Amino acid sequence: MPELTLRSFAWGDVPAITAIYKHYVDHSTATFDLDAPGPTDIAEKFGHMLEDGHPVVIAERAGALIGYAYASTYRPRPAYRFTCEDSIYLHPDAIGQGLGRTLLAELIARSQSFGFKQMIAVITAESAASVALHEKFGFVTVGHHAALGLKFDRWLDVVHMQRAL
């Protein structure tokens, strides 16, 4: 298997990020988006993170983007400026290879270097693998919200997890 490379976001990543995220919008409950954003929306979102200096980690193998992770401000109010929320998305072919663990470790390190002090994970409760991944990195469940979102004609619970950085 070709070597894995982790690097920072580049503008040329927008099409691959858009495609990966669309997969999750269309086929999973990992995101509560019901309509996949297009490249312009993705570029705007990542552009704001880039402007703010927030960590965005790209994973690629053999020159192909196979996953990404980012940490961005948890809420827009200034008092939250030291708290971030993490997000990790993998190409469907890259699931089950330890890439989520690799991305989260790098994201935590970059978030600490940035100056974030707390990291929040907002996870659909049925995503047992994501909950377990975060637990391995010291996240603890701080909240469980029943029937918080409706997607695919199902009410979904959401778990909030937190870790000091």
100 CB-contact burial (10 Å; exposed 0-12 / middle 13-18 / buried 19+): buried
Instruction: Give the model's confidence band at 108: pLDDT under 50 very low, under 70 low, under 90 confident, else very high.
Output: very high
Q: Are 111 and 55 contacting, i.e. CB atoms less than 8 angstroms apart?
A: yes
The domain 4-164 having CATH identifier 2.40.340.10: the answer here is no
pLDDT tens-digit map of 112-139: 999 999 999 999 999 999 999 999 999 9
Q: Is the pTM here over 0.85, yes or no?
A: yes
Q: Helices in 65-154 by DSSP H: which ranges?
A: 99-114, 128-136
What is the H or E stretch that residue 145 is in? strand 140-151
Instruction: Give the model's confidence band at 36: pLDDT under 50 very low, under 70 low, under 90 confident, else very high.
Output: very high
Average pLDDT, the chain: 97
Predicted local distance difference test score (pLDDT) of residue 118: 98
Domain boundaries, the chain: 4-164
d(CA 74, CA 85): 5
Judge whether residue 104 has pLDDT over 80: yes
Mean pLDDT over 86-114 rounds to: 97
pLDDT tens-digit map of 56-91: 999 999 999 999 999 999 999 999 999 999 999 999
Q: Which residues contact 129 (CB under 8 A, 6 or more apart)?
A: 100
